[in-house]
Structure 1
Amino acid sequence: MTWRGAGEARRPAAKARPVRSRPERASSGSGWQGAIGQMLRPGSEAPVLSWGIVGLTVVLWLGGLFTGGLPFLFLAVTPSLSLQVWRFFTAPVVYPNDFFYLIAILLSGVFILLTAPAVEKNLGRGRFLVLALAAAGVGSAAMVLSGNAAFGLSGVLFGMFGSYLIFVWAYPPARAQALIIIGINLLINIAFGGFTLPQIIGGLIAGAGATYLFQRYDDRASSKARTPYLIIAAVVVGLIVLAIVRSAL
């Protein structure tokens, strides 16, 4: 906010020119840029990270159609590429450029958009990002530990399911609904071969565990704010190290 000095006007009032305030001028001419700014500003309840995860996945898959699958080649993680640690966190937003996987993107995207905004609102953007990264890292590490490549939204999706389940655990109707949704998605995964079961289980545990830690340490007045983050980071790093060691053997 800009404060202006209030000087005494010496001219007659009739000659004074009406001047709009800066906020009014900015808001009247902002258009779509202003709308985006409102969504991104701290305190906004727009689930921009939830939308961003799904949007980035779709953009990268479409980009792969025109680049020979380069996003998948550079961002997915396999046992032979496990030393490139960033891949454990980028793998969830890429898929092979096969139209079969378009179904997986659509199904996972729909369920993320149904679940993740509520989680993002309850946790806040900072904690939501930590949870999403934890689910991505643990899910990818679980896949590499099983000797398979990791890619796709399954780990992050089930991380959201796990987090949501912790939030509604004390409310039986909502808990039952969450368990039914998790069960339906498990059956869908098994129907498609169950290839990503390690990723699903890893993401589910990571999401539920991270949310439990956030709630537990929020309720303890004597606890330090960074404690849950340190525990989450230690678990994720430990599993990634195990995956790298397993791949080297």
Structure 2
Amino acid sequence: SKWQLVVNGGRNSENRFPLFDHTVGNNQGMYLLGKTRGDDVKSPHIELSSPHCMRFHYHMRGKVVQGMAVSVYNMDQEKWMDVWNITETVGVDRWLMGMFDLEPGRFDVIFRPHDNRRFALDDILLIEGKCNDMRCLEGEFKCMTQASVNCLPLAVMCNFVLDCDDTIDEYNCKDRTYICDFENGNICSLEQESDDTMMSEWVMVNSSNTPGNLQDHTFQNNSGTMLKINTEELLKSDHVFMSHY
């Protein structure tokens, strides 16, 4: 199995990938799925005449043992360098940001997962300058997510989803009306617990993905969106909680 470019429906009971992407923050955006340990993603050859920062967003939910690493091959020096990694953790259902510096030279960059069915990548950017001096891009805002610096699209502000530790993205939203009907591509700060069973996952679906083409409540027809969970593989002792964070 190789990395795949997907849109909407990346999550199922097998892989635990995000319901929506980082770029636009809804279920119409695309991201890259890494399903198997040992399947690497390699960049095109990169040639730089000045320092640059490579920035990317990653998603991994649930218990992660060996994590993911990023390695760089310096073609001028003919050697590999480990530039970024994340190891044992319990990942939350959010997009987080990673970054590392590249000096002038010629490079190949490799993203390398070490756990099965865990990783998604989105918005891999090469930005001139050092990472410590990097600012978020136009159309983004900066905040802390899980105690790490994050750059998020302005579109996710006031969308009833807490993306920032200090809740700044959902502050002073009195002009917005909160309607959690799942039709706008987000799940309104509902999150499946990270330590739940892997046998089944809550997924966002329309009528065609339900038994008997169940009509949704919002539109009372088969065009709407709802959350669904498959209980066929669950045991009485299994937990699949959704909570509001």
TM-score by length of 1: 0.24
| Length-normalised TM-score, structure 2 | 0.24
Larger radius of gyration: 1
Higher strand share: 2
More helix by share: 1
